[in-house]
Structure formats: C-alpha cells, structure tokens
Amino acid sequence: METSPKSTALLVVISAPSGGGKTTLCQKLIETEANLARVITCTTRAPREGEKDGADYFFFDADQFLKRVQAGHFLEHATVYGNSYGTLKSEVLGKLRSGRDVLLNIDVQGAAAIQAQAEHEEELKRALVTIFLTPESLSELERRLNKRGTDAPEVIRKRLGVARQELAQWKHFDYLILSRSIDEDLHRARAILEAERLRRTRAVPPSFE
C-alpha cells in the first residue's frame, strides 16, 4: 500500500505509571474523538471468557509470537508476568494510511521502542505524538492505588517503586499532563490532539488557484 505524503493522521502514544489514569483517559478519548482508533494487541496469554481472536486480541502461541519478533513485525513488545504482548506495525500503519488517528496505551518502555523506530522511519516520525500522564506526586499516586482497593500493600509498594523509575522518563515525551480529574485530563489531551492536527508539518496547505 502506498503512503500518502500528505497524510495528517496521528499516532498518539499515552504512557503513565500504574494508577496514573491512562486507561480511563484512553477510553474517554476513543468515546469522544470520532477519528481515533485503538489497535488490537497481540498476546500469548490464553483468551479469557468472552474474548474473541481478532476483536479483543490477536492470540498467538509462543512460537508464533517469537517468529514475528524475529521478523521485525512489532513496533514494540514486552513480556509481562510470563505472557508476551506486542503491537503489530502493520496494524498501526494500516490505520494511519487510511486516514485514521491511532491511539496506543503503553508503558514507557514501549513508548521508547516506538520513538526509536520513528527516528529511522519518516512515516512514523511524522505521525508520532507522545503524552505522559501522571498525578502531581508519588503520594497522590499512592492514594489512588489505595483507593482502587485491588492490590495488597506489598503490591502497591512494588508498583510505587516501578512508578518512581517511570516518572523520571517524562522528559522524553512531547507533552506532560499532570492528572487532576478525568474531565481536565480529557480536555487537555483533546487540546493536544487538535494542536497537533494544525501543525504546519501536517496541515494540508490552502489552494490559491
């Protein structure tokens, strides 16, 4: 498929520490941005009840997943708790080339992998917009994790340790949103998307004929 040199589609990457609110923000963006599409992730974990291959995830066994890693099919991939997850480059580029904006909800390591690829691929570089979302302090993040009531105290301590390392990566993103409320976070994220669509490097110039 040929790439349009005038494509204005965005590849929006949102990262946050655990409990930072990125899943909620991404859900709200999908609901409110008509041209924004999510990408189906690949995984080696077994399907859960009600999940469908090609709709919720692409389910691969370990060998199938490894072959795609070796062939360079993934924009980013990681192993979490013994299961592998990855974002297919073909999924992302297919949507961008059709004019759809693409939203990826991934961790800071995944974002770094995509940024590294974008340095060598003009199509990705032109589309990429990275946003780091985080509460204003570790104490606020701890409060949110405790409020969720889904993790034991030792799990929360471990998540906060990881979060401290992740927070240090904010400077590598295009935008920083200090999370306050769902509505404020959504308003700021949508403002970023609108500003990026109006960038001179993406805008389709007016015709003077």
* pLDDT tens, position by position, 120-132: 999 999 999 999 9
Q: What is the pLDDT of residue 153?
A: 79
> Given pLDDT bands bounded at 50, 70 and 90, which one contains residue 173?
very high
Q: What is the pLDDT of residue 203?
A: 74
Q: Answer yes or no: is pLDDT of 139 > 90.
A: no
Q: Compute the half-sphere exposure of residue 45: CA atoms within 13 Å on the CB side of its CA.
A: 16
> Given pLDDT bands bounded at 50, 70 and 90, which one contains residue 158?
confident
Considering Cα of 117, then 119, then 120, then 123, what sign does the dihedral take? positive
Distance CA 94, CA 194 (A): 22
- Computed over every residue of the chain, the mean pLDDT equals 89
- Tally of CB atoms within 10 A around 173: 20
Considering Cα of 202, then 204, then 208, then 209, what sign does the dihedral take? positive
Q: What is the pLDDT of residue 3?
A: 43
Domain 11-39+101-197, CATH:
3.40.50.300
Task: Specify the DSSP element, H or E, that contains 77.
Answer: strand 74-80
Nearest Cα to 114, choosing from 91, 139, 143? 91
> Given pLDDT bands bounded at 50, 70 and 90, which one contains residue 6?
low
% of the chain beyond a pLDDT of 70 = 96
Say if strands 74-80 and 83-88 run parallel, antiparallel, or are unpaired.
antiparallel
Nearest Cα to 192, choosing from 109, 98, 107, 103? 103
> Given pLDDT bands bounded at 50, 70 and 90, which one contains residue 154?
confident
**Per-residue pLDDT averaged across 16-40, rounded?**
91
> Given pLDDT bands bounded at 50, 70 and 90, which one contains residue 163?
confident
Is residue 50 helix, strand or coil? coil
